[in-house]
Structure 1
Amino acid sequence: MPSKSLPPQRFPYKSDRLKPLRAFCQTTRLGSVSRAAEALYVSQPAISLQLQALERELGVKLLERSGRRLVPTREGEALYALAMPLVEGLDALPAAFRREIGGLDAGELKVAANSSTILYLLPRIVDLFRRQHPDVRLSLQDAITADGTDLLRSDAVDLVVGSMVDVPGDLSYAPVYRFDPILLTPLDHALARSKRLTLEEIARYGLILPPKRQVTYRLVDQVFQQARLPYTVALEVGGWEVIKQYVAMGMGISVVSSICLAADDAERLATRPVAEWFPPRSYGVVVRKGKVLSPQARAFIELIRPDLFSRRDREDPGHSER
């Protein structure tokens, strides 16, 4: 007798797959069922039931408690990486569709960047963007990169332009520009005349640096710590222009990124290359992994470098700099 063909295998997909996945993603992102329920405007029992149903269907434990937070298991992390882009993409579909059919004639774009990036890197990009898309409301928020990434995670901004060293797993950083470190001194300073500069000589003079939270301070401190050289911070002050002014007034010396140097600085400041000891700085674009970029955000990034993230998606991202 001829054997009967087996019926096609049926998978227990529920009629609404999006709800339990959305509940899982929000719980993972926020760390609690109650906060996920508030974000999704449903009851806590509803979230709990959806999580239980998802775990039963997949046959694995997805979340476990760590202190007061719920954190994903190894299997949960894998599901979150797969599901979050899908959930965000579907949730953003209506707005994205309206933007696409409306083109770039309207809407808004919010970009976070620190003051030096806004001052030295973005003017040309902003000018081009405004001339090409005059009806888009562009907002530049002055924030150091660490604060900018917090704004990015909360969807308060669309992207961040800045400098990174350690890139969190939920973000993508694509460096575009590279700037060498420069020692800045008054014109008549001894280090400006020194024939062969050494790190020990630099350590003898008081430094003017950005605040400790900023990357520059941490990088300078790391160099001296690794060399086991004591050094003195004469002044902490924000903003490269202020630092340059105070150095010119003889209040101290500084290690800056060449991004901040202008042609007329040579009239009041002496510069020496210090790449032998201090690392270069990269500046680029930071976005959330899996986040669907708006047409406005894509257009802005294209002006910085075309196909920036498309190209990196095909490469090993490796370790990035901040």
Structure 2
Amino acid sequence: MNLHQFRFVQEAVRRNLNLTETAKALFTSQPGVSKAILELEDELGIEIFARHGKRLKRVTEPGVAVLRSIELIMAEVNNLKRIGEEFSKQDAGTLSIATTHTQARYVLPAPVAQLRKRFPKVNISLHQGTPEQVAQMVIDEVAEVGLATESLENFDALVSLPCYEWQHVAVMPVGHPLARVERLSLEDLVVQPLISYHPSFTGRTRIDHAFETRQLKPNIVLEAIDSDVIKTYVRLGMGVGIVAEMAVRDDPANGELVARPVGHLFGQNVARIAFKRGAYLRSFVYSFAEMLSDRLGRNLVARAISGNPDDYQL
């Protein structure tokens, strides 16, 4: 057996058992993938996949156990590569970060710039997606670091740590009636057309829950994943926006929009950083975590990656 066979099996599962897509992803031929998988099955004396003709239909019970072992083997192979890179390249390489639009636009610029200044030989690769996609990219090792508010703590394959807390703010044009109200209520907002995030993004579930708890039905006229898009439609007079506070921090004080904190209505949100459990992190990855949050010291992150979540505290 060899690593090529392990990669083919692993990628076949990732590609929903589609061998044509598996071959494309691995830059090889479909017959080559099929042959390698069959050879591995022959060597192990079991079927990893149940088949219908030449098509893979599902993973067998022994195949599930094989896949668990393959995941561990490939994770350690990637760890070996990172160890080699760290000691041979001396703080050089690529840091891949998976994150949502809000984090990429408003939170990451400062720590990324700081990382580049401290480690000029390190390049940054940003991958944007939904929180679930962010988690999966870290699990699949497309990215080494994930950053999002939702979902990251729901995956057993990840270690996620809180970075910082944030709250929502309501934004409206300067001349809007609510601009004269210092402390908004749910009753103030429920009668307004509202513009906010898609339900899977940036704390939207807290917003919905707050209205539901009070048995109020908000009038959400537009949903988006991008805070800048939300603010654009607020400027056009379509409604009151509810966005993350970091989306308005750099807005001019005498600009077109007024922001009012609504953390007292929707609670505090926690942005989390995630790593794959058991992964080897290069020195500049630990430094990046510290740049994101002063609570993410190297020793704490290392204990979290290698141990049980109960072994560390923030």
Q: What TM-score do the two structures reach when normalised by structure 2? A: 0.71
Secondary structure of the 1:137 match is strand
For 1:10, the equivalent position in structure 2 comes to: none
For 1:32, the equivalent position in structure 2 comes to: 17
Letter in 2 for 1:309: V
- C-alpha deviations, 1:93-115, integer Å up to 9, x for none? 356414422211x3222323333
- State the distance in 1 between where 2:259 and 2:15 align: 50
- 1:227/1:315 Cα in 2 relative to 1: closer, same or farther (>3 Å)? farther
Match 1:312 to one of 287, 304, 308: 304
- 1:144/1:20 Cα in 2 relative to 1: closer, same or farther (>3 Å)? closer
For 1:101, the equivalent position in structure 2 comes to: 88
Q: What TM-score do the two structures reach when normalised by structure 1? A: 0.70
- State the distance in 2 between where 1:188 and 1:33 align: 56
Greater RCO structure (CA 8 Å; 6+ sep): 1
Are 2:258 and 1:269 equivalent residues in the alignment? yes
- 1:76/1:191 Cα in 2 relative to 1: closer, same or farther (>3 Å)? farther
Is the contact between residue 82 and residue 282 of structure 2 (CA under 8 Å) also seen in structure 1? no
Deviation for aligned residue 1:21: 6.0
Secondary structure of the 1:301 match is helix
- C-alpha deviations, 1:257-301, integer Å up to 9, x for none? 22223275554414143434x243222323334554455544433
Match 1:286 to one of 274, 282, 299: 274
Are 2:102 and 1:111 equivalent residues in the alignment? no
Letter in 1 for 2:17: S
- C-alpha deviations, 1:229-259, integer Å up to 9, x for none? 2222233445324434544564321222222
Match 2:44 to one of 54, 63, 79: 54
Match 1:71 to one of 43, 49, 59: 59
- C-alpha deviations, 1:38-72, integer Å up to 9, x for none? 4496452442342354366xxxx866689964236
Match 2:146 to one of 148, 157, 160: 160
Is the contact between residue 187 and residue 269 of structure 1 (CA under 8 Å) also seen in structure 2? yes
- State the distance in 1 between where 2:309 and 2:111 align: 27
- 1:46/1:142 Cα in 2 relative to 1: closer, same or farther (>3 Å)? closer
Is the contact between residue 103 and residue 295 of structure 1 (CA under 8 Å) also seen in structure 2? no
Task: Count residues in correspondence.
Answer: 295
For 1:300, the equivalent position in structure 2 comes to: 288
Which is worse superposed, 171-180 or 25-34? 25-34
Which is worse superposed, 210-219 or 225-234? 210-219
- 1:115/1:31 Cα in 2 relative to 1: closer, same or farther (>3 Å)? closer
Query: Cα RMSD (Å) of the superposition?
Result: 4.0
Are 2:230 and 1:243 equivalent residues in the alignment? yes
Is the contact between residue 112 and residue 160 of structure 1 (CA under 8 Å) also seen in structure 2? yes
Letter in 1 for 2:119: H
- State the distance in 1 between where 2:259 and 2:283 align: 44
- State the distance in 1 between where 2:237 and 2:14 align: 49
Is the contact between residue 174 and residue 284 of structure 1 (CA under 8 Å) also seen in structure 2? yes
- State the distance in 1 between where 2:42 and 2:279 align: 26
Secondary structure of the 1:230 match is coil
Letter in 1 for 2:309: D
**Is there any run of 5+ residues in structure 1 with no aligned partner, and where?**
1-15, 318-322
Secondary structure of the 1:275 match is helix
- State the distance in 2 between where 1:149 and 1:88 align: 16
- 1:194/1:91 Cα in 2 relative to 1: closer, same or farther (>3 Å)? closer
- 1:215/1:54 Cα in 2 relative to 1: closer, same or farther (>3 Å)? farther
- State the distance in 1 between where 2:142 and 2:81 align: 19
Letter in 2 for 1:71: V
- State the distance in 2 between where 1:270 and 1:29 align: 43
- 1:165/1:44 Cα in 2 relative to 1: closer, same or farther (>3 Å)? closer
